[in-house]
């Protein structure tokens, strides 16, 4: 990690730059694949699965037999762990349900708002070097709680044409209605346009690499909603002399091992802690099976020393981290004043990986500074708010003239007439 001491504020944006390609670098590829899938459907899907995943599939739909086999091969210990995580995630997301909002704005004018589930949702689950079955829980559980009718899951096959059994087990456990062996850009395109084997959906969820992120953004041009722009993972830790250096190092590495384009940042008011954490990283990284990936991510990452908590907080809000860990003598200051973060982890005994798996919060979060405007996935992500109004004779007489005056001022005669014709009858 590169250490930076007391950077000038004017240099923050450059220092905090993410190690990602620009959209222009990859949009051409994404657009070409989208056009192909839109024109040629499953034929194009199969072509790109063979090209990118190195496998030709006779059928990309997961069968009941494959799910049953997955249930058999998953150890009882892992099943119990997944079940406990499911219970905690379910508790937290069920608690997010809200009642109907009702108000009578004036006599005879009743307005209310109710939540309705999005009927068709697509879940993208990364496979590759780290099959994220935990993401199945994070997406399928709130979708099921919200009442989504169709929950379609796409995940890339391995070189044997299979999806990791833990992904299949979790999907079956959480009510996914269809599982399809397709990944990458072509999966997002399939969910956007629909093919004979991939249903078209109304909203797409899930993290992915930069290509998947751009593909999701492109899908919005075709009328499909997305959860958020969720790209390569990132973590920022703020810590001082009260923090445990080995804990901080382990948290930084836990995100660094996600991918070579992940980024981790340590912000501290203690030069000693920075030195101690870097020593711990050098020691702990040697024990990681994914050491090469973690090393590349660490090379993209930084330790930043600042003079005080106020400067640290301002820098952190400028960065807008996906994950934010607070381990200081003044945790409340950061917790009370952070405004740009996807999810916050407080204290020495709250590792970021708890949120990734089993505490109950959702781990699908905005990256690349999008936490300045986006929330992480939650129950409301799978619902729509519909407003209703009911006006009585008394109500239209009360607000009718207001509507007439406003419509007339905007030059919308038919709007005015829609009220006037009723008022005349009364």
pLDDT digit string, tens, across residues 376-398: 999 999 999 999 999 999 999 99
In tens, the pLDDT along 290-323 reads 999 999 999 989 999 999 999 999 999 999 999 9
Q: 105: which 2 tokens?
A: 């704005």
- What digits encode the pLDDT tens for the residues 146-161? 999 999 999 999 989 9
pLDDT of residue 21: 57
323 marked as binding residue: yes
Q: pTM (2 decimals)?
A: 0.93
Residue positions annotated with a catalytic role: 322-323
- The structural domains of the chain, with segments of one domain joined by +, span 23-98+116-226, 232-375, 392-425
Same fold yes or no, 23-98+116-226 and 232-375? yes
b/e burial code for range 338-369 (CB count within 10 A of at least 16 → b): bebbbbbbeeeebbbbebbbbbbbbbbbbbbb
Instruction: Output the CA angle 393-399-402, nearest 5 degrees.
Output: 145
Q: Annotated binding residue at 186?
A: yes
pLDDT of residue 23: 63
Say which residue, 326 or 20, is predicted with more confidence: 326
Domain 392-425: CATH architecture, name and number where available: Up-down Bundle (1.20)
Among residues 285, 304, 119, the alpha carbon closest in space to that of 201 is found at: 119
Q: Helices (H) and strands (E) in the chain — how many of each? A: 17, 14
Cα distance between residue 43 and residue 148, in whole Å:
29
pLDDT digits (tens, 9 = 90+) for 167-187: 999 999 999 999 999 999 999
Longest dimension (CA), the chain: 84
Q: Is the pLDDT of residue 211 over 60?
A: yes
363 labeled part of a ligand binding site: no
Nearest to 330 by CA among 246, 269, 281: 269
The topology (CATH level 3) of 232-375 is: Rossmann fold (3.40.50)
pLDDT tens sequence across 240-292? 999 999 999 999 999 999 888 889 999 999 999 999 999 999 999 999 999 99
Fold (topology level) of 23-98+116-226? Rossmann fold (3.40.50)
416: left (phi over 0), alpha (psi -120 to 50) or beta: alpha
């Amino acid at each position: 990690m590169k250490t930076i001491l007391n950077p000038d504020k004017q240099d923050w944006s450059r220092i905090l730059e993410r190690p990602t390609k620009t959209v222009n670098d990859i949009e051409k590829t994404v657009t070409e694949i989208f056009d192909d899938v839109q024109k040629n459907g499953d034929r194009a899907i199969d072509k790109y699965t063979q090209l990118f995943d190195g496998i030709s599939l006779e059928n990309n739909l997961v069968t009941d037999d494959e799910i049953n086999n997955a249930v058999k091969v998953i150890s009882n210990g892992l099943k119990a762990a997944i079940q406990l995580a499911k219970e905690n995630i379910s508790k937290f997301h069920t608690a997010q349900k809200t009642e109907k909002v009702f108000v009578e704005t004036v006599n005879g004018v009743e307005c209310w708002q109710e939540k309705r589930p999005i009927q068709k949702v697509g879940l993208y689950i990364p496979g590759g070097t780290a099959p994220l079955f935990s993401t199945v829980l994070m997406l399928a559980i709130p979708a099921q709680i919200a009442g989504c009718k169709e929950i379609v899951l796409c995940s890339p096959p391995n070189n044997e044409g299979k999806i990791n059994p833990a992904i299949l087990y979790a999907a079956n456990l959480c009510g996914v209605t269809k599982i399809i062996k397709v990944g990458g850009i072509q999966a997002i395109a399939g969910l956007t346009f629909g093919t004979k084997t991939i249903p078209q959906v109304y909203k797409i969820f899930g993290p992915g690499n930069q290509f998947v992120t751009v593909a999701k953004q492109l899908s919005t041009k075709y009328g499909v909603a997305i959860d958020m722009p969720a790209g390569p993972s990132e973590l920022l830790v703020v810590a001082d002399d009260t923090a445990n250096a080995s804990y901080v190092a382990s948290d930084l590495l836990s995100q660094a091992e996600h991918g070579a384009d992940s980024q981790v940042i340590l912000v501290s008011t203690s030069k000693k802690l920075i030195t101690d954490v870097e020593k711990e990283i050098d020691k702990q990284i040697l024990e990681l099976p994914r050491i090469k990936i973690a090393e590349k991510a660490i090379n993209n990452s930084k330790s930043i020393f600042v003079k005080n908590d106020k400067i640290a907080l301002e820098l952190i809000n400028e960065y807008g981290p996906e994950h934010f860990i607070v381990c200081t003598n003044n945790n409340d200051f950061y917790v009370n004043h952070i405004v740009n973060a996807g999810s916050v982890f407080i204290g020495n005994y709250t590792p970021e990986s708890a949120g990734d798996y089993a505490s109950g919060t959702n781990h699908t979060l905005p990256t690349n500074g999008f936490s300045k405007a986006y929330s992480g996935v939650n129950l409301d992500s799978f619902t729509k708010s519909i407003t209703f109004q009911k006006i009585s004779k008394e109500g239209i007489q009360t607000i009718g003239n207001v509507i007439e005056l406003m419509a007339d001022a905007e030059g919308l005669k038919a709007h005015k007439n829609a009220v006037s014709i009723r008022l005349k009858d009364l």
